[in-house]
């Protein structure tokens, strides 16, 4: 249950109504993560711009790899909202429920490439043990798999973004949609 007031689409007026209508048109529905920001409509716009840049822009990392890291971060943070949404998005590419289930329970057990496993390890390390970054170079395993500095930057952006969103969702109590976000356009 939301811990703050939410303005629902049918109650929205002005700029918020315009934003909701655009989200419904472009994404299929207004997600709860956006409704939780309804008291600050412009933050929804900026949030979507950041999300689209990090998750959909040109990158050496595939969309699936970015969604995979989103799931790992969200599982590490116990954010079922984002883990569910981005698990659905990931399975849009993987089309393998068993592999997704293994990723959710322990990515080390999933059938992943060396680079994918390194990306998952990086996501987990930055999420759960950021204090270790000063002791060891967390980018070394990524570089050892051949990922470029540009790909590593993109991985860092994905991990950072999902830690931000997980904390917003968890602290403000965004609830998973009844359709579990399955009707959302990824």
Confidence bin at 47 (pLDDT 50/70/90): very high
What pLDDT does residue 183 have?
Answer: 62
HEC sequence for 103-169: HHHHHHHCCCCHHHHHHHHHHHHHHHCHHHHHCCCCCHHHHHCCCCHHHHHHHHHHHHHHHHHHHHH
Average pLDDT (18-23) is: 97
What pLDDT does residue 177 have?
Answer: 84
Task: For 74-98, write each residue's pLDDT tens digit.
Answer: 999 999 999 999 999 999 999 999 9
Residue 9: pLDDT above 70? yes
Q: What is the CA radius of gyration of the chain?
A: 17
Average pLDDT (8-15) is: 98
What pLDDT does residue 135 have?
Answer: 86
What pLDDT does residue 186 have?
Answer: 57
Selection from 58-67, 131-140, 175-184 with the highest mean pLDDT: 58-67
Q: What percent of the chain has pLDDT over 90?
A: 89
CA angle (45, 181, 40) in 5-degree steps:
25
Torsion 174-178-180-182 (CA) sign = negative
Residue 113: pLDDT above 80? yes
Instruction: State whether residue 60 is helix, strand or coil.
Output: coil
Per-residue b or e along 61-87, where b marks 16 or more CB atoms closer than 10 Å to that residue's CB: beeebbbbbbbbbbbbbebbbbbbbbb
Task: For 49-61, write each residue's pLDDT tens digit.
Answer: 999 999 999 999 9
Task: For 23-43, write each residue's pLDDT tens digit.
Answer: 999 988 999 999 999 999 999
What pLDDT does residue 185 have?
Answer: 63
**Domains within the chain, CATH numbers bracketed:** 63-167 (1.20.1290.10)
For the entire predicted model, the pTM comes to 0.94
Residue 11: pLDDT above 60? yes
CB 16 within 8 A of CB 41: yes
């Amino acid at each position: 249950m939301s811990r703050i007031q939410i303005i629902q689409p049918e109650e929205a007026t002005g700029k918020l109504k315009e934003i909701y209508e655009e989200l419904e048109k472009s994404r299929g529905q207004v997600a709860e993560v956006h409704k939780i920001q309804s008291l600050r409509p412009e933050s929804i716009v900026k949030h979507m711009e950041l999300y689209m840049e990090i998750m959909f822009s040109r990158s050496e990392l595939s969309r699936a790899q970015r969604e995979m890291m989103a799931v790992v971060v969200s599982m590490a943070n116990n954010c079922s909202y984002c883990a569910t949404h981005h698990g659905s998005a990931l399975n849009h590419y993987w089309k393998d429920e068993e592999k997704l289930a293994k990723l959710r329970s322990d990515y080390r057990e999933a059938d992943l490439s060396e680079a994918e496993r390194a990306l998952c390890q990086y996501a987990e390390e930055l999420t759960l043990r950021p204090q270790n970054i000063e002791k060891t170079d967390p980018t070394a395993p990524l570089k050892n798999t051949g990922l470029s500095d540009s790909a590593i930057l993109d991985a860092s952006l994905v991990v950072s973004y999902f830690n931000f969103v997980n904390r917003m969702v968890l602290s403000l109590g965004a609830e998973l949609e009844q359709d579990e976000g399955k009707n959302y356009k990824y």
